[in-house]
Amino acid sequence: MKRYIFILLAFILIFSIFIFSKNSEKFEISYYVWENSYKNEILNEKLYIKVLDIDYSNKLEIIKTNFIKNPPKDFIPTIYITNKTMQNVDFKRLSKDIIKILNSFNFNFNELQIDCDWSDSSKNNYFLFLKELKNELKVTISTTLRLHQIKYYKQTGIPPADYGVLMYYNMSELGNFNTKNYILDNNIAKKYLFNFENYPLKLKLALPLYSQAIQFRNKRAINLFENITKEDFDKNFKALENNSFQVLKSHYFKGIYIYKDDILRFDYVTSNDLKIALSDFLKHSKNYFNEIIFYTYKYKNSYNLAQILEQ
């Protein structure tokens, strides 16, 4: 009898280990590096480094990242392009200019990522641009996606890329006084968790690792402060609802003079917020890579990533 009990307990133990290992996904962790200068040598990490920042005002403006240090051999160069650029610059000209600049860098690559929040007015030009890059460079091309571009994919279209990166943050309006948390609001995200089962592009997930404060005067956004903590509001501020703080007396804040009665909204993300976001994504998307790209590397030590990835 004891032998049967032992066998039964052993079976339960083995089965439990199997279930646990099956439910404990092994995620590859990677990071975005988004500064205009790459000056800190980063080893033993998979990196997506912004190499070009592209905008359009009265003309095309392209800012190259200054590589003071050599990037890792296998990093993925990433290009940020504003929607305004895609609305005003023909895809062939843009592709030609980008390829010329990429060839001037002292590195090789077999993958390129494009970060652009395209719209209906720029979609055709942007999709042709992605095809042109693919044809000319003969490398893997990925593109960033927003939640609404999956929920409404029949209207927004499916970009001709090898895979997509779902930017699971910045879901509301930055300058809207009534926004609760611009960086990550899981209640807003849940409203867009549809059509993942029909979306044909395989996905990677990008999650935020940063905080900021938006300064409002008369409910109009006038400044943005990066890398803010709640402790920054311990003096000279009055706590309001929705993570907002009222300035009690005029003073310098992070090098900027702010005035009495200005309102600062504190946008931040907790480890629990990120854990919920990851869980919600995994529930809805079965067509994904086991890779999470955190934005950005600069703040990786501010969070317990191992805890976030426990599902």
- Predicted confidence at residue 306, as pLDDT, reads 86
- The span from the CA of 224 to the CA of 208, in Å, is 17
- The span from the CA of 160 to the CA of 127, in Å, is 6
Residues near 7 by beta carbon (within 8 Å), at least 6 away in sequence: none
- The span from the CA of 65 to the CA of 54, in Å, is 11
**CA torsion through residues 279, 284, 290, 294, sign:** negative
The length of the chain is: 311
Please list the rounded mean pLDDT of every run of 10 residues in the chain (311 residues). 49 41 68 96 96 97 97 96 98 98 96 97 98 98 97 96 98 95 96 95 98 98 96 97 96 98 97 96 94 96 88 68
- Predicted confidence at residue 8, as pLDDT, reads 47
- Predicted confidence at residue 4, as pLDDT, reads 52
Class of residue 58 by CB neighbours under 10 A (exposed 0-12, middle 13-18, buried 19+): exposed
Of 74, 70, 58, 64, the closest CA to residue 36 belongs to 64
